[in-house]
A and B are shown apart, each in its own frame.
Chain A
């Protein structure tokens, strides 16, 4: 064996027992942590070249029948080194002391299709995240728990605390399609849609992405397969990587075990724009309230260009016509937000015997957001169990039942930047009267008394009456069995489903002025989403001869996806406050969408190992998809990867270089289209006076589409230094996605605003570095440092074969987000200032800046690089972990800034308003002498001299006089993401109370933004939703900072 193994303290004590040659012998023993001596439950014990295997119980004990001696006992435990014990015969119980594998170089990881492999045998990058890093995280969305934990994994929390988050691995490899990884829980693919309502409906509600349904407490470990090389066997959907989730099992337990956890988290608004407090609502310095609709002086104005907030007496919205002091309420926006509270309680029971193991659990979570009257409740029920039916047959089942019940989902920005006046809270704080007293809003909300009544409802009215309910019932589960056919040959079968109903109810109260219909309205939006997979496979594992080993599998999978949406809306309520579909003055608006698809797949893979230091992995898969035309329906894609452990192969191993592995490979995955993209169709809308209306779809479909293909080459290196006190994992990759199916925006003059083409090509190259080290390790004290860094460069190579298309519009919010040929993915594309050769902005004779009539690329939402630094200090039972993460080089277009400046609510709009604030004296077009002149810094296009013409301050801040360029900011940030402090009580102390374990942890999340663009008036890390339109912010809710406490108890 290797030196590494020799230097480990391993005690094997033999004892002689009488043996029965016919039935074999029971080999018994214990597996213990080498350092602490604590038992390791759930370690896997097997005999080389035999099918028999077992798992250790709570005391680390095991018992295994061995038929033939000499035998090699294999001991594996996640996070510990692999052990092989040669027994010429069994004499006395084994005591296996496993050393913790500091660098996880020899760890066993779960790979595609749930196959466990030694990490050293893999030819691609994969990263394992232990459940303990996710359990007890303060976030209610497990996607957030991954932030900063793995190189090249980018998480964007959309808005605030309660809603959706986006995850992308190794950059965007699809120009138009989904770019988020596939989530697989115990072999069952689970949906992660956000299910945003169709365009034209209220898209401002921040629905959680569906994977947030999972309960973090159920997760044992989480494996990130970064891209096609690792995930080729999953086929179509592997191009964006796979997150493999393994849930906790009863097998980790011997006898009865009960776990109880409780957590409380408190979230407050972290970052709000800086508002001015010098001028109140109105126009041209005038204001007087009568009805908020224009009956008073400028009380129909929803901007803050009104009188100076100097205490003068003015009738206001709450004063019933009485003139009251006109004063600032600097915290009026902040005062509106509340402390969001998350409560989380869970209990699980696990048990395992010789022939069975199971785990049963339930968890209840209730979260309120920082917006008043918003709440999401989630209840998880989970069961999993496995039963040894006979010596050869094992069967089991997993069931997760999840109920999400939200009385009101908070509203935020919408993907198109459209305003939803009945619910968008930030809309009215960006068009605001800065004098407004939030207390008075509260006092008047039941009668919808508001500072402006033309366009807005009282914000409390919006939160309490114009609500959106969500109710989701979801089942994720499978049944599976395996049969041991011959020595080394297993047959496995699994049939699983992810099925949910998601019903939403949109209520707008009668009397809402902002809603577009003072009658109020009621809509129901119901979704049914399902995915079924049935899979059968053969697995053959064998040491062939001497130094060669083979691990091969071949299988077949049938996948069915279906989606149904039913939308109905009573656009005008007949009787107020009665929310039924029949309570409608007008005919109901209604719409149905049904979609389904089926994919048959055959696949095979083989791993050939030589002397357990060189490995070759081959995979191949063929898919037949219903969404492609019959001629192009079948498509095959292969992968080949290899790894070599040089420190085992060559005589270079030393104390300084304790481990060195190189790996590399090439893979291809194919991908099908969405359903119904072959034939162009006509839609039928509600009839006009009995005459049905039919219109052509705006997309021209394509009967000849071919599958998309993503080809990826990857090279990597894993190294351990100084006896593995320092380890390095380096990955380089180059991914080409070709034949991309694009719904390209085309000139309307072509007859369609979109056409489906099949030629897009995008390249992603990148580097990932993961560095782990333990600088200090003395007695009870340990300091671990984890550093990761990833840089990805994308390049849009082509959009169509003819080269006619130069830009693909990913989305638009005034400013466009595009994929432009030759450029990085995700360019922000819009109007810019006209500049001279020195880069100075040109102005006209009137002093206004000139705007370039050709749009320019103003930035990219994709960062240059991301990184994270984790410092963990452990001392006896204490553990303190601090995570700092960073992202550099991305840009953000802030529509909020565009509005907040034009409406005069932002703090940076005070300058120049009057002489007091630096305003210059000037004469306007009507001959009035004013003191609100401001000079725009630029160069007169005609004279070449610095601009001297003045404009009014309001014009200076108005967006109509400026291009989008003005509102594009550097979105780089460094954040103090997480601090957690936990204490685990010692076993001895607990035994007195009959406890098996007690951990108390305090966690703080999003503590501080250490670096950001100072001009950007908000958190640079915001998004509208989880789609591909990123780098655009509009009316997004403020992000939050949270503090939590967790208690975990084990009996």
Chain B
């Protein structure tokens, strides 16, 4: 008996002292502690494309604001009845910071032996794109302390844009053809030259955002960019191409199970008025065969009026956009050309603005598979399309709006900046005839980062949909 007891006690004491094995027990078998830059990069590109092209931020909101799409059912967002917990408000914020910025920061903080300079350059470029997206939507945002503090301060939109120019300069310094290969890049397949072009083109985009506020600074930056360093063809477009299955284009997945969006009447009518050959690409014929022409849905209707347009009498977006493997275009060649036209008009660079404009429309046609010089020339010859140097904001604004079909975030930023096309809020809009010019901060920020949010709101103006952002002068 005594022997037994002694051995039992000994076992007990032995067990208690086994703290080594307790560490082993607590080693997580489900995930790795070690980030891999290639895997992180694929994740950011995929999740970034989903955010830019997907439901909450794009067709569930921004495409409705810019009247590319319209809601035929559940019209709340289309009527700007938006709460600070809706997906359009929370998704860009949460996905932008956690899914995108955090993983890019992880690449940036990796040892050089694991992630070479080119990984860092790519990461910094992508991170600049994400911050730009957020600043364009919300205005002042956490930037300098993002990912570094539990309660990061909000930087002014102005300082964010300036910071991004500096970040992109750093990215360009890092991106070097002989600085090592980049794996996991499903957009440019590790082509560093293309990444340099995308980074330079982003500088261009950001500089124009600030052009109404800081014309000289913007001019300086744009003048420093060599045209050869910009995206120079549709092959160099920054776009994410989905696969057929299971990683489908999110718009395709939506139409598999839902029936609540149609193409907007605003853009259909515009394309019709311009005899635009992109109409059959952008829209499908209505399901009801008795309707023989393309028809758009009106934006901003009450639920009953929206539904009463007839679900099958209104066109859905074209197969090009809702096919499983449709690309998510993020920065097109056409945009570079439109930007060049604008830069000429603003006197930042030399050259012929009209030429750039015509090339831009051509590039857009090409992007959507419309070829043949005759079609393009006939289109451009129309008075309604012809470049009007005296009202270049209208010419560039309208054509950019058409060319950006589906790119909600950038179509929205350019519409606010150029003020063309002139859009009218739907009859049941909740903002007294106005269209939102920003989105709310997520409601959770009130509880999670309340003081800093309050400071930003005091500086920027009330946290509502009609408060103009810093870059949006006119």
Contacts and interface: CB of A to CB of B under 8 A. Distances in A.
With most chain A CB atoms within 10 A of its CB, the pick from B27, B102, B304, B305 is B304
Contacts of B79: 960
Given A454-B258, A624-B16, A961-B81, A751 B33 contact: no
B369 interface: no
Given A682-B31, A684-B39, A952-B302, A627 B444 contact: no
Assign chain B's interface to a size class.
Answer: 35 or more
A748 B31 contact: no
A682 B98 CA distance: 12
B245 interface: yes
B141 A809 contact: no
A846 interface: yes
Interface stretch (B41-49, B196-204, B353-361, B407-415): B41-49
A750 B94 contact: no
A940 to B, nearest CB: 14
A745 B444 contact: yes
With most chain B CB atoms within 10 A of its CB, the pick from A286, A695, A809 is A695
B308 A751 contact: no
Interface in A623-665: 624-627, 630, 633
B36 A694 contact: yes
Given A536-B8, A751-B97, A818-B447, A681 B33 contact: yes
Interface string A845-859: 010100101110000
Given A301-B307, A753-B98, A295 B312 contact: yes
A593 B30 contact: yes
A816 B442 CA distance: 13
B47 A695 contact: yes
Interface stretch (B112-120, B339-347, B424-432): B424-432
A589 B442 CA distance: 31
Contact of A284 (B39, B76, B148, B305): B305
A325 interface: no
Contacts of B446: 854-855
Given A300-B259, A689-B243, A676 B93 contact: no
A694 B31 CA distance: 10
Given A284-B304, A695-B40, A624 B22 contact: yes
A853 B28 contact: no
A511 B5 CA distance: 67
Contacts of A853: 84, 462-464
A872 interface: no
Contacts of A960: 76, 79, 81, 83
A491 B5 CA distance: 9
A598 B23 CA distance: 10
Interface string A416-446: 0000010000000000000000000000000
A997 interface: no
A693 B430 contact: no
A804 B450 CA distance: 9
Contacts of B42: 687-688, 691-694
A585 interface: yes
A751 B101 contact: yes
Given A305-B303, A695-B43, A751 B98 contact: yes
Nearest to B244: A586
B295 to A, nearest CB: 14
A586 B246 CA distance: 6
Nearest to B240: A688
Nearest to A557: B12
B193 interface: no
With most chain B CB atoms within 10 A of its CB, the pick from A592, A679, A693 is A693
Contacts of B21: 598
Given A298-B308, A517-B256, A681-B33, A688 B46 contact: yes
Interface stretch (B149-157, B209-217, B377-385): B149-157
Contacts of A952: 302
Contacts of A595: 30
B285 to A, nearest CB: 15
Contact of B40 (A587, A593, A694, A854): A694
Contacts of A855: 443, 446-447
Given A594-B29, A961-B81, A633 B39 contact: no
A848 B430 contact: yes
A879 to B, nearest CB: 50
Contact of B245 (A305, A556, A586, A747): A586
A518 B256 contact: yes
Interface string A488-531: 00010000000000000000000001111110000000000000
B15 A846 contact: no
B33 A753 contact: no
Contacts of B422: none
A676 B103 CA distance: 20
Interface in B282-315: 287-288, 302-308, 310-312
A798 to B, nearest CB: 15
A981 to B, nearest CB: 50
B447 A807 contact: yes
B93 A684 contact: no
Given A295-B287, A630-B23, A685 B257 contact: no
Nearest to A813: B85
Contact of B303 (A303, A556, A558, A830): A303
B448 interface: yes
B449 to A, nearest CB: 4
A693 B46 contact: yes
A283 B23 contact: no
Contacts of A685: 43
B1 A483 contact: yes
A533 to B, nearest CB: 13
A955 B302 contact: yes
B186 A688 contact: yes
B428 A925 contact: yes
A696 B256 contact: no
Contacts of B33: 679-682
With most chain A CB atoms within 10 A of its CB, the pick from B27, B73, B287 is B73
A586 B38 CA distance: 24
Given A305-B304, A691-B184, A926 B427 contact: yes
Contacts of A298: 304, 307-308
A750 B152 contact: yes
Interface in B441-474: 442-450, 462-464
Nearest to B433: A925
A950 to B, nearest CB: 14
B83 A515 contact: no
B445 A691 contact: no
With most chain A CB atoms within 10 A of its CB, the pick from B31, B101, B259, B288 is B31
Contacts of A924: 427
B289 to A, nearest CB: 11
B391 interface: no
A952 B301 CA distance: 13
A377 interface: no
**10 smallest A-B Cβ distances: which pairs?**
A294-B311, A284-B304, A694-B39, A751-B147, A960-B81, A749-B142, A681-B31, A283-B304, A807-B447, A676-B28
Given A682-B34, A693-B46, A750-B151, 15 more contacts: A293-B312, A294-B311, A297-B310, A300-B311, A676-B27, A682-B36, A693-B39, A748-B97, A749-B152, A750-B150, A750-B449, A814-B85, A816-B444, A853-B464, A954-B304
Interface of A: 283-286, 293-295, 297-301, 303, 305, 421, 454-455, 483, 485, 491, 513-518, 536, 556, 558, 571-572, 585-587, 589, 592-598, 600, 602, 624-627, 630, 633, 675-676, 678-689, 691-698, 745-753, 755, 804-807, 809, 812, 814, 816, 818, 820, 829-831, 846, 848, 851, 853-855, 924-926, 952, 954-955, 958, 960-961
Interface of B: 1, 5, 8, 12, 15-16, 18-19, 21-23, 25-36, 38-40, 42-43, 46-47, 72-73, 76, 79, 81, 83-85, 93-94, 96-99, 101-103, 105-106, 141-142, 146-152, 184, 186, 243, 245-247, 253, 256-259, 287-288, 302-308, 310-312, 427-428, 430, 432, 442-450, 462-464
